[in-house]
Amino acid sequence: MSGWSAITWDVARAGGFTAFLLLTLSVALGLALSLQLQAPRWPRLINNELHNFVTVVTLVFIGIHVLAVWLDPFTQFGGAEIFLPFVSHYRPLWMGLGIVAAYLALAIALSVYIRPRIGYAWWRRLHYLTFVVYALTLAHGVATGSDTRTWWGIAIYGGSALLVTALLWRRFSRPIAPGGRAHPALANLTLAGAVILFVWALLGPLQSNWNTSANNGNGSGQRSSAQVALISDVELTSARTSIPKASIPTIEAAILPSTEAPEEEAGERETP
């Protein structure tokens, strides 16, 4: 991997995790505000200004993450792959969820400017889409990222999901104001959603063969489809005929004489 490629990918990874942590904080602050979680003797640390500020910084880091992904010379995403969901050559479904989440997050953040026109009730309904953004982002990070199976990746995703599930469950399971109503069905839906995500992560992205299914068998995501196709054919021929791989690359050598296949092509891009 070249130096520039290492920089863009590291910024993409760090930017992605920072955006995800900030999104978690923003969602948690919003829920804490509606739950009126304040210690009476403490200054009002949790307030609207902090919630708005964290949301803006989240958007900035989403921007950094997307820009770094776009500039990465290894994957060489085209503009359409970055802006249109589900057309990417790299983990298309899971990258698409991130793109949809980013558009929704932008729309929710900008909706504050049209609040006087649409009214508070509609603005509030729109704001509930934040939970959809959170769930899409969680699935996107877990299924697209190359750090999902590290201990710290699991800790970040797991800790975040536990915090948001607990606050959301508390929000729905009991009335938040005297005379208000509880929403037990929504509380149960929250728990069911969390369990489904957990089981899916366990059976999918946390398995060692996840790259193949997430990436539709397209190698590491490096933009060089001719090479990737050849490498896949070699793997396939070797597997089907039990001819050792070393004796097969004659076709590859004939067509791409000077190109050595980078080791990342065989599987997921390595992280340090």
Neighbour count for residue 43 (Cβ, 10 Å): 8
Residues of span 49-78 touching ligand HEM by CB under 6 A: 62, 65-66, 69
Sign of the dihedral defined by the CA atoms of residues 68, 74, 79, 83, in that order: negative
**3-class state of residue 245 by DSSP:** helix
Is 75 or 190 the residue whose CB approaches ligand HEM more closely?
75
Output 33 or 82, the one with its CB closest to ligand HEM: 82
Q: Which residues contact 74 (CB under 8 A, 6 or more apart)?
A: 1, 5, 8, 9, 221, 222, 223, 264, 269
- Between residues 190 and 215, which has the closer beta carbon with respect to ligand HEM? 215
Provide the token pair at 169: 């469950």
**CA–CA distance, 54 with 25 (Å, rounded to integer):** 7
Is 137 a binding residue for ligand HEM by CB under 6 A? The answer is yes
Query: CB burial class (10 A; 0-12, 13-18, 19+) of residue 116?
Result: exposed
Q: Which residue is nearest to ligand HEM (CB)?
A: 145
Contact indicator for 252, 231 with CB cutoff of 8 Å: yes
Asked if residue 24 binds ligand HEM (CB under 6 A), the reply is no
Tokens of residue 135, six digits:
């769930």
138 binds ligand HEM (CB under 6 A): no
Q: Which is nearer to ligand HEM, 30 or 141 (CB)?
A: 141
Tokens (6 digits) for 130? 């934040």
Q: Considering only residues 170 through 199, tell me which ones interact with ligand HEM, judged by CB under 6 A.
A: none
Binding-site string for ligand HEM from residue 228 to residue 267, where x marks contact by CB under 6 A and - marks none:
----------------------------------------
Q: Which two tokens stand for residue 227?
A: 């090479």
Between the alpha carbon of residue 233 and those of residues 217, 243, 248, the distances in Å are 11, 13, 10
Alpha-carbon distance 161 to 197, whole Å?
A: 9
- Select from 38, 52, 76, 146 the one that contacts ligand HEM (CB under 6 A): 146
Among 8, 130, 144, 222, binds ligand HEM (CB under 6 A): 144
Q: Interface with ligand HEM by CB under 6 A: which range of 13-21, 34-42, 182-190, 232-240?
A: 13-21
Within positions 149 to 168, which residues make up the interface with ligand HEM, using CB under 6 A?
Answer: 153
13 binds ligand HEM (CB under 6 A): yes
For binding to ligand HEM (CB under 6 A), which residues are involved? 12-13, 16-17, 19-20, 23, 62, 65-66, 69, 82, 95, 98-99, 101-102, 105, 137, 140-141, 144-148, 153
